[in-house]
Chains A and B, each alone.
Chain A
Amino acid sequence: MSRIAARFKALAAQGRGALIPYLEAYDPDRETSLELFRAMPAAGADLIEVGMPFSDPSADGPVIQAAALRGLKAGATLVGVLDMVAEFRKGDDETPVILMGYVNPVESYGYERFCKDAAAAGVDGLILVDLPPEEGAVIAAPAQAAGLDIIRLVAPTTPDARLEYVLGHASGFVYYVSIVGITGTRSASAHDLAGAIPRIRAATDLPIAIGFGVRTPEQAAQAASIADGAVVASALLATLAQTLDEQGRATSQTLPRVLEQIRGLAQAVRAAGQQPE
């Protein structure tokens, strides 16, 4: 069983959803982001999403754009990102790691070589925001051969007829983009989520994680209990950005503040799971 499937299965047995925090590789530098990455599981991360910085993140809001820019300035490359995952894996063989980014750097690296190298580094799944299933043939076979899950996005705008098509190309889990918009701008209401998730459930057996607009412990708890997991990205990156000095360098506050926020999110997600249905 893949690390992703095993983790969701174990959490389901515990009766709770997953907390999936996001970090941008090399933000604000390689060492800091690797240290954060390594400390995340102990702080309560059930799965981890690692952003691969891209020069033109057209589906992201200002917070992730700035994080990507800091990562690129610090010298992020795909080789460097995979190397970070390999370092992480030396100390953690269980927490699933998902890489999230845009397709061009991967195309440039070469789909087959990338999938092989990513799997060898210990990556479990890929989210390529601008590679819809219509264009997904380039990566489907190499990912399958390497044992990588291709995690598909589903949006509120995805109609029922299309849902089936998209989920036909999904593995690992389904990432529900809970708002019509870019990352880090608005949040979905519990009411919207309660309406949307059963529609997806009816179309797939895969676990469902909710992302885009999950910021507070309350929202994370709610999302993780309505669905199977909550992805928190912009809220963590915004905290990280606040701790940097004037030159954009990490300070003694950077790791403690981000980790403290993750602990708060994890506590809420866990507490929500223990409440009787």
Chain B
Amino acid sequence: MANPIEHGGAAAQSNSFRQQPDEHGHFGGRYGGRFVAETLMPLILELNEAYEAAKADPAFHKELVYYQTDYIGRPSPLWFARRMTEAFGGAKIYLKREELNHTGSHKLNNVMGQILLARRMGRTRIVAETGAGQHGVATATVCALFGMKCVIYMGATDVERQKPNVFRMRLLGAEVVPVTAGAGTLKDAMNEAMRDWVANVADTYMLIGTVAGPHPYPAMVRDFQSVIGEETKAQMQAAEGRLPDVVVAAIGGGSNAMGIFYPFLDDVSVRLIGVEAAGHGLDSGKTAASIERGRPGVLHGNRTYLLQNADGQIDEAHSISAGLDYPGVGPEHSWLNDIGRAEYVGATDTEALEAFQLCTKLEGIIPALESAHAIAYAAKIAPTLSKDTLLVVNLSGRGDKDIFTVAEHLGVSL
């Protein structure tokens, strides 16, 4: 229904970057959308209606704030990283401490929003995909909290390299299903979760862990993650009396980045930098840098930049970090890239490993390997920036889950 007030509002703010997607779920008229089989189409239309209703309901927000505060532990601090700042010798470095959330990453922000929505919709069974296992753990956690059935699809390769998280999910009562199709990573887990959903539409809610999938997921997940950027804005105001100059975040599917970017989109003085996993190097053929080395195409319900071959077959991504090992990226990032509002760069496996150790030694914070990609890029540009430049890194998760991977790369046997 055309709402005259909304129309007036949209016209008044027509040069805002915060008006996407359109009613069809398209970002910039091109990316995103709803590319799903007919069996799922009525479901995502229903989900869209349910989400719009929840968004407009103060009781839903009140409930969400309650769980954000008393269960997740929000707000997360904005930490001035003094020793890192001194070591880099340039910009003033702040860390947004999403690793302090319950379950150790930003993932719970989104999961909490969606589980409350699933409950409103009367669903009793949750399916989700996971890469690093952080989204799976967050999902299993809220399913335990609300007594719901939980099935997590995880690539067999990832089950191997993220054993502690697999054990955590099982302790929390989830069924973890290893997926052997393809390379056994995140994209294969996503396919399998979608197959489960198609087969169990009556009672099942699919809880997607990043700003991808068919509309409304990219917009909805962004909205639930935007608490990161909103807090950062207020905290920086309190600490420095102004906006930050640069915001840096790692990009897997792009949810922690969208969450910290979104509230700053219309503050055009703020440089937004998304760091993709370059893997062995952007031109090595073993990379997960979808925006830098991919081209637009359709996968998992939306149009976005994808790593694909000349015939439109999707390539396997590569990254040391399971959470970034995905050949696509959220469609809003594709749009922000094309219009130049955000910059997208890469950090390699090696650079991430160095940043992982650096952050641990200088700040006493063990970052997730995913977040270490953002730190690695901050380390690269900070020395080129003046000392009064305010640079925020989104520390999206803690690295306890990664110590085995890191030990192996350092040649240490645990």
A105 touches B38 (CB 8 A): no
A55 touches B313 (CB 8 A): yes
Chain A residues within an 8 Å CB radius of B298: 102-104, 107, 130
- Known contacts A132-B36, A153-B37: does B312 contact A159 (CB below 8 Å)? no
Interface assignment of B43: CB less than 8 Å from any CB of chain A: yes
Q: Using a CB-CB cutoff of 8 Å, which residues 272-312 of chain B contact chain A?
A: 297-301, 303, 306, 308, 310-312
Chain A residues within an 8 Å CB radius of B299: 56, 104
Q: Interface size of A by Cβ–Cβ distance < 8 Å?
A: 42
Interface assignment of B182: CB less than 8 Å from any CB of chain A: yes
- Known contacts A159-B42, A162-B42, A182-B195: does B300 contact A58 (CB below 8 Å)? yes
- Known contacts A55-B314, A130-B37: does B181 contact A180 (CB below 8 Å)? no
Interface assignment of A152: CB less than 8 Å from any CB of chain B: yes
Q: Using a CB-CB cutoff of 8 Å, which residues 85-117 of chain A contact chain B?
A: 102-109
Query: Of A59, A107, A152, A157, which contacts B297 at CB under 8 A?
Result: A107
Chain B residues within an 8 Å CB radius of A103: 35, 298
A157 touches B308 (CB 8 A): no
A132 touches B297 (CB 8 A): no
Alpha-carbon distance between A135 and B38 when the two chains are bound, in angstroms: 12
Interface assignment of B216: CB less than 8 Å from any CB of chain A: no
Minimal beta-carbon separation of A40 from chain B (angstroms): 25
Chain B residues within an 8 Å CB radius of A54: 313
B38 touches A104 (CB 8 A): no
Minimal beta-carbon separation of B47 from chain A (angstroms): 13
Minimal beta-carbon separation of A57 from chain B (angstroms): 8
A166 touches B312 (CB 8 A): no
Interface SS of chain A: loop
Chain A residues within an 8 Å CB radius of B313: 54-55, 72, 105
Interface assignment of A217: CB less than 8 Å from any CB of chain B: no
Residues 299-337 of chain B, each 1 if its beta carbon lies under 8 Å from chain A, else 0? 111010010101111100000000000000000000000
Q: Using a CB-CB cutoff of 8 Å, which residues 26-45 of chain B contact chain A?
A: 33-43, 45
Alpha-carbon distance between A56 and B302 when the two chains are bound, in angstroms: 13
Interface SS of chain B: mixed
Residues 192-214 of chain B, each 1 if its beta carbon lies under 8 Å from chain A, else 0? 00110011011000000000000
Interface assignment of A134: CB less than 8 Å from any CB of chain B: yes
Choose among A54, A155, A159, A162 the residue with the greatest number of B CB atoms under 10 Å from its CB.
Answer: A155
Minimal beta-carbon separation of A158 from chain B (angstroms): 6
Query: Of B45, B199, B201, B312, which contacts A107 at CB under 8 A?
Result: B312
- Known contacts A56-B191, A157-B43: does B314 contact A131 (CB below 8 Å)? no
Chain A residues within an 8 Å CB radius of B300: 56, 58
Chain A residues within an 8 Å CB radius of B33: 134-135
B24 touches A153 (CB 8 A): no
A108 touches B312 (CB 8 A): yes
B34 touches A109 (CB 8 A): no
Alpha-carbon distance between A36 and B45 when the two chains are bound, in angstroms: 41
Chain B residues within an 8 Å CB radius of A159: 42
Interface assignment of B187: CB less than 8 Å from any CB of chain A: yes
- Residues on B facing A (Cβ under 8 Å): 24, 33-43, 45, 181-182, 187, 190-191, 194-195, 198-199, 201-202, 297-301, 303, 306, 308, 310-314
